[in-house]
Amino acid sequence: MVKFEKQKSISIILLFFVVFLIGGTVSMVLAEEKTSVVQSPELTGLLLKDMDFSDAEFTAALKLAGALKSSPQLKQLTLRRLPKITFIPKIDTLRNLSLIELNITGKMFDSILEMKDLTALDLRFCCGITPEQYKRLNLLPKLKDLKIGGYTVNDEVLKTITPLPNLTGLTLDDTAVTAKGLADYIERSPSAKTLQMFVLNKGTLTDDDLLPLNRLPKLTRLVVSDSMVSGSFLGKWAADETTRPKLNRLSLKNTLLNEENAEHLKKYKELSETILTGTIAEATSK
């Protein structure tokens, strides 16, 4: 993944990236050019962050990354805090698209839906996305992993993505989703049969609110962070060996997990990775 960040806005005639290899590492140099785009090595991943790009400058950067060639190699694109761009050119090879803290216009959302081979989409903390637009994500037939977040993501938004049929991963990051909204999603979504990973960061959901997750038959990875969760849900799940999730990865980072509830982890014999950093249980075990 090539990364480029700039904290201050710049005003130039035409902005290009010159990408070159030095000692096996990829570097980016900012250059002001009036001539044709300088070709770069074929990149498979690109991150642009805190850039004051216009649409034309953004398109030029993608060209330099080789993303707009007839046979591009770019598979992962991350854009964070690019306030001026209004669309994303179609990149046929793109599989993973992350748009974080962007203003998503109708034009940009339409351009996302043009990329039919997307398998992973991150829309956390983007403004401008309406519930009706979220509903149109069903036009991405190969979508497997979805990340959404921000105070505008509520039960109504979760309801609009309920029809998505093939999700294996769902992330809710600092949302306004309630216990009822989550329970309704699990009850009604066809993805309840396919979800393998659920990620909850911040928000107001409690231990009892997480109990319906045991109705996800393929759930093997659970991540809960920066939440008021004590881990009591683990004991309630473990009370019934036939229905408890067969977790192999569990992260309860920066939660209220205590030593008593951490004892329930012994009943989860499938666990191969456990992260308990920033918890009471971790502190008392030292």
| 135: in domain | no
pTM, entire model: 0.86
268, part of any domain: yes
Is residue 262 domain-resident? yes
* pLDDT at residue 283 in the model: 58
Give 272: exposed, middle or buried? Use CB within 10 Å, 0-12, 13-18, 19+.
exposed
How many domains does the chain contain in total?
1
285 part of a folded domain: yes
Residue 63 within a domain: no
Q: CA-CA distance, 19 to 267, in Å (whole number)?
A: 51
141 within a domain of the structure (yes/no): no
Of 242, 187, 173, 240, which Cα lies nearest the Cα of 216? 187
Q: Could you tell me if residue 112 is inside a domain?
A: no
Q: Domain span at residue 218?
A: 196-286
Q: Is residue 44 part of a domain?
A: no
pLDDT by residue for the chain (286 residues), tens only, comes to 555 555 333 332 233 343 333 233 333 333 333 223 334 456 788 899 999 999 999 998 888 877 887 767 889 999 999 999 999 999 989 999 999 999 999 999 999 999 999 999 999 999 999 999 999 999 999 999 999 999 999 999 999 999 999 999 999 999 999 999 999 999 999 999 999 999 999 999 999 999 999 999 999 999 999 999 999 999 999 999 999 999 999 999 999 999 999 999 999 999 999 999 999 766 565 5
By 3-state DSSP, what share of the chain in percent is helix, strand and coil, each rounded to 5?
Answer: 25, 25, 50
Q: Do residues 188 and 165 lie in contact, with contact meaning Cβ atoms separated by under 8 Å?
A: no
Measured distance CA(149)–CA(226) in Å, rounded: 14
